[in-house]
Chains A and B, each alone.
Chain A
Amino acid sequence: MPLLGEEDTKYLRESFAELRADVRVTVVARERSRLVLVGAEPSGDGAEDASAEVKQVIDEVAATSERIKVTHVDAAADAEGAQKLAGAHLPAIVFAADNAKGTLRYFGLPAGYEMSTLIATLMDLGSGEAMVPPEVADELAKLTDPVHVQVFVTPG
């Protein structure tokens, strides 16, 4: 059963028609069925996470625009790749585009208000444009050390 309704899909198609650049989205998630097949502990950390829903919702969103390219990384099959992309937390959605210099990741299922954030971020990434005025870009260019921003949200 689709997670997005017909109205949502129509809205996304119309919005994403404005995308001027490709957006690369990598979903890092666990294949629960595979975990069971290899005899791993069925319970424990993450066994009940939102991996399946995240994969589905991203696939449904991406299906509304040819500009959105999705790659799936299965943490059960490629633990090293998953770790490199997402660190210690799953499920993760990793965003990239030619106008994105840093690292952008969403952990968990984007629902409710956070779905709007996800759509807005896809629009930003697909705009092909700079997100800050030149004077702010100049200030940011003076950063010499890594900066880790963590934002905690709820579906709301």
Chain B
Amino acid sequence: MARAAYQLAMSSDKITADVFEAQEFPELAQRYQVRGVPMTLVNEGLPIMGNVGGGRLLQSILATRSSGA
């Protein structure tokens, strides 16, 4: 998921993709209740669990367009 996130961030100046080594940032892992990896958050919304592919991540990113309208 990290590579997919980076590829999408490469493709839009609106996207920031941050990948965290969870064990080195326990306070973040705790804040976001990381129970398994990879775990992906888009704008701190519902977590995407596992290596489910870039398509799923793209959906979540594009869904942010309507959420604020």
The prevalent SS among residues of B at the interface is mixed
Q: Are B7 and A149 in contact (CB under 8 A)?
A: no
B58 vs chain A, min Cβ distance (A): 7
Contact call A104/B9, Cβ cutoff below 8 A:
yes
Among A1-9, A11-19, A73-81, A130-138, which stretch is in contact with chain B? A130-138
B residues contacting the other copy or chain, number (CB 8 A):
43
- Check B68–A145 contact: CB distance below 8 A: yes
- A37 touches B (CB below 8 Å): no
Q: A148-B43, A153-B37 are in contact. Are A101 and B5 (CB under 8 A)?
A: no
**Which residue of B has the minimal Cβ distance to A103?**
B16
Cβ-neighbour of A150 out of B12, B18, B23, B62 (below 8 A): B18
> Which residues in chain B, 1-52, are within 8 Å of chain A measured between CB atoms?
1-3, 5-25, 28-29, 32, 34, 37-44
A109 close to chain B: CB less than 8 A: yes
Q: How far is the CB of B37 from chain A (nearest CB, A)?
A: 5
Q: Mark A108-139, 1 if CB is under 8 A from B, else 0.
A: 11110010010011001100001110001101
Q: Which of A50, A108, A154 contacts B37 (CB 8 A)?
A: A154
Q: Are B41 and A100 in contact, CB atoms less than 8 angstroms apart?
A: no
Sample of 5 further A-B pairs with CB below 8 A, known A89-B28, A132-B11, A143-B64: A50-B21, A136-B58, A140-B62, A150-B41, A152-B34
Residue positions of A touching B, CB distance < 8 A: 49-50, 89, 95, 97, 99-111, 114, 117, 120-121, 124-125, 130-132, 136-137, 139-156
13 CB contacts below 8 A, A to B, read A101-B12, A102-B9, A107-B24, A108-B20, A141-B12, A143-B12, A149-B8, A149-B57, A150-B20, A151-B17, A152-B28, A152-B29, A154-B22
Q: Which residues of B are at the interface with A, using a C-beta cutoff of 8 A?
A: 1-3, 5-25, 28-29, 32, 34, 37-44, 57-58, 61-62, 64-65, 68
